[in-house]
Copies of this chain bind each other. A is one copy, B any other.
């Protein structure tokens, strides 16, 4: 029989343990954070009716949907984001769920776009949203969640940029240019790339506004400084326009509320230039950048939208939410050397080189697990050297060696792999306490050693 070549499709990838472990940990951190704010998990099918998925998408997303006819002749597609399914879900179940409805959803999505470096056809989205309330409290809370989430993942130096799109809307309204908001935003979006002068030129040419108006738009977009000073400048730049004033008021409340929620002022930036796409968001918008890697772009973005489920129900469902860029963050952590290198989730290996003591190894492992220590027992009685090589390669923190002599003498050897230290520890099945204590001390020393977010930290079993 000829072999089938084992391979993955272009744009898709396997996750090996060393890569999957930090991914899984980040997803768990996200879940824990969302839950601590009262966001509840939901899940929706990967396949949906194609008309549901393509209902409101742009031509571009429509083209990217993996679509086919199922066995029943239905036109179906694989979800390309988690927002369209949320909209369908909310329209279908909001009567049961009631509002406010706070959900998170961590799940893969698929886009048949041309894969590039760092872009894949299958990737995980990690979203949280509050549906059914216009309260600014929900906006503030979104900032607090982003702050808490990045902190819990392990970042300290990051910036959450906040804007309220209605401020620009107010400025344009003041000039009688409310209908120009899309081309103006489109030009403004290029500001960091093409610079002030070219943006000004393009705004006048493409959006057909005059030079003074373009000056005012740019003055607003480039309004800089700490949050208090930005808030002080905005009323004058927007000439007291009432729509802008309301937007400034909301932005002020978000800033003050975020501080009250414990977000440090140094992480908050009021940035009236961010636009985040043109159509979707209608109010506050967020972008989050890592201070040490700003070039990778936003790692958590979102905002407020007017009407989530308008395609599927007449019920008006406003919402506010954001999405964590899991892949981008993991790539950043790799670049910043924040990821552990271990590919074992258990920090301890019990070596196995005496056949007649197999059940002793198993019993010892059970005692250690009961004490909250993750333990692997090497399955075969190979030479110790081969087992230690395996331990090094997998990234175990410590190994236990116990042969006939040790078992006869009610002791075992505990080897710490990083320091090559070996100590003799008393052990009997009746009294594993000394061994448990010795291992815990080795694991906690390893967890606190510099540069080591090691297996010990995320390798202990439930409840640790």
A16-B93, A366-B261 known; A40+B137 contact, CB < 8 A: no
The SS class assigned to the A binding surface is mixed
Question: Is A14 close to B, CB under 8 A?
Answer: yes
Is there an interface contact between B47 and A358, defined as CB atoms closer than 8 Å? Answer: no
- A21 interface contact, C-beta 8 A: yes
Q: A12-B47, A374-B35, A462-B32 are in contact. Are A358 and B137 (CB under 8 A)?
A: yes
Whether a CB of chain B sits under 8 angstroms from the CB of A461 is yes
| Stretch of A102-110, A284-292, A407-415, A432-440 at the chain-chain interface | A102-110
Chain B residues in 8 Å Cβ range of A45: 8-9, 12-14, 122
Q: Is the CB of B369 within 8 A of A137?
A: no
Closest Cβ of chain B: how far from A216's Cβ, in Å?
Answer: 32
CB distance from A27 to the nearest CB of B (A): 10
Contact of A98 among B1, B52, B393 (CB under 8 A): B393
Residue of B nearest to A40 (CB): B17
Residues of B contacting A5 in the complex (Cβ-Cβ under 8 angstroms): 312
Chain B nearest Cβ from A43, distance in angstroms: 4
A150 to chain B, nearest CB (A): 14
A344 to chain B: which residues have CB within 8 Å?
38, 40
**Is residue A92 within 8 Å, beta carbon to beta carbon, of the partner chain?**
yes
A318 to chain B, nearest CB (A): 11
Query: Which of B20, B152, B257, B358 makes the CB contact (< 8 A) with A43?
Result: B20
Q: Which of B34, B49, B67, B362 contacts A140 (CB 8 A)?
A: B362
Q: How many whole Å from A439's CB to the nearest CB in chain B?
A: 14
Size of interface on A: residues with Cβ below 8 Å to B: 119
Q: Are B380 and A70 in contact, CB atoms less than 8 angstroms apart?
A: no
**Which residues on the B side are within 8 Å of A462 (C-beta)?**
28-29, 32-33, 36, 152
**A370 contacts which chain B residues (CB < 8 A)?**
262
A313 to B36, CA, bound (A): 47
Closest chain B residue, CB of each to CB of A98: B393
Q: Is A133 part of the contact surface with B, judged by Cβ < 8 Å?
A: yes
Chain B hits for A148, CB < 8 A: 369
| A352 proximal to B (CB < 8 A) | yes
With an 8 A cutoff between CB atoms, is A96 at the interface? yes
CB pair B122–A257 under 8 Å, yes or no, is no
CB atoms of A20 and B35 under 8 A apart: no
The answer for the CA separation of A112 and B46 in the assembled complex, in Å, is 13
Q: Report if A231 contacts B (CB, 8 A).
A: no
A395 CB to closest chain B CB (Å) equals: 10
- Whether the Cβ atoms of B363 and A260 lie closer than 8 Å is yes
- Chain B residues with CB below 8 A from A463, complex form: 32
Report whether A108 and B46 are in contact in the complex, using a CB–CB cutoff of 8 Å: yes
> CB of A144 within 8 A of chain B?
yes
The answer to the question of A126 belonging to the interface, with a C-beta cut-off of 8 Å to chain B, is no
| Residues of B contacting A312 in the complex (Cβ-Cβ under 8 angstroms) | 3-6
15 residue pairs A–B, Cβ–Cβ below 8 Å: A4-B312, A9-B47, A14-B45, A14-B92, A16-B97, A20-B42, A36-B346, A39-B345, A40-B344, A45-B122, A46-B78, A68-B69, A100-B380, A152-B462, A260-B362
